[in-house]
Structure 1
Amino acid sequence: MQIRRIQIMKFLKGAGLTLAALLIVCFWYIAAAWISGKLPVGGRPQIHEAGQLPTYLCEAPFHTDIALPLYDPMFAWTGELKDELPTWMPPDTYVLFGWGDSVFFTSVLQPEDMTPGRVLSALAGFNQTAVRIVPVDGGSVEEYCEPIPVDTEGRAALIEHIRETFLRDNEGELHTLPTPVPGEILVKAKGRYSMFNTCNQWTAAALGKAGLPRSLFAPFAWNVTSPLQGLEEPSTEEVTLYN
Structure 2
Amino acid sequence: MRFAGKALAWLALALGLFVLAGWIGSSIPRNSGWTEPDDGIAIMVETNGVHTALVLPLVTPQKDWRRDFPASDIEASDAPYTHVSISWGQREVFLETETWADLRLSTVWHAMAGSDALLHVAHYIRPAPAADIRRLTLRAHEYARLVAAIEAQARIGRQRRMYPGYYAQDVFYETGGSYHLGNTCNQWTGDILAEAGVETGWWTPFAGGVMKWIPD
Tell me whether the two structures share a fold, i.e. TM-score over 0.5: yes
Runs of 4+ with deviation above 4 angstroms: 85-89
Return the TM-score normalized by structure 1: 0.78
1:68-107 equivalence runs, <5 A: 68-82=56-70, 84=73, 88-90=78-80, 93-107=82-96
1:200 equivalent in structure 2: 186
1:175 equivalent in structure 2: 161
Higher strand share: 2
How far the C-alpha of 1:87 sits from its partner, in A, is: 5.9
In structure 2, the CA distance between the partners of 1:53 and 1:210, relative to structure 1 (3 Å rule), is closer
How far the C-alpha of 1:15 sits from its partner, in A, is: 3.0
In structure 2, the CA distance between the partners of 1:191 and 1:210, relative to structure 1 (3 Å rule), is same
1:4 equivalent in structure 2: none
Distance in 1, Cα, partners of 2:98 & 2:10: 31
Q: Find the residue that maps to 2:197 and give its secondary structure.
A: coil
CA RMSD of aligned residues (A): 2.4
In structure 1, stretches of 5+ residues that fail to align are 1-11, 231-243
In structure 2, stretches of 5+ residues that fail to align are none
2:122 equivalent in structure 1: 134
Distance in 1, Cα, partners of 2:91 & 2:128: 24
Q: What amino acid is the match of 1:213?
A: E
Q: Find the residue that maps to 1:100 and give its secondary structure.
A: strand
Could you tell me whether the CA contact under 8 Å between 1:66 and 1:98 is conserved in 2? Answer: yes
Q: Find the residue that maps to 1:149 and give its secondary structure.
A: strand
Max Rg structure: 1
Return the TM-score normalized by structure 2: 0.87
Identity of aligned residues (%): 22
Distance in 2, Cα, partners of 1:195 & 1:47: 30
Matched, 1:17 2:6: yes
In structure 2, the CA distance between the partners of 1:172 and 1:224, relative to structure 1 (3 Å rule), is same
Q: What amino acid is the match of 1:142?
A: P
How far the C-alpha of 1:194 sits from its partner, in A, is: 0.9
How far the C-alpha of 1:39 sits from its partner, in A, is: 2.8
Question: Which of residues 209, 213, 216 is equivalent to 1:227?
Answer: 213
Matched, 1:61 2:41: no
Aligned residues: 213
How far the C-alpha of 1:26 sits from its partner, in A, is: 1.0
1:156 equivalent in structure 2: 144
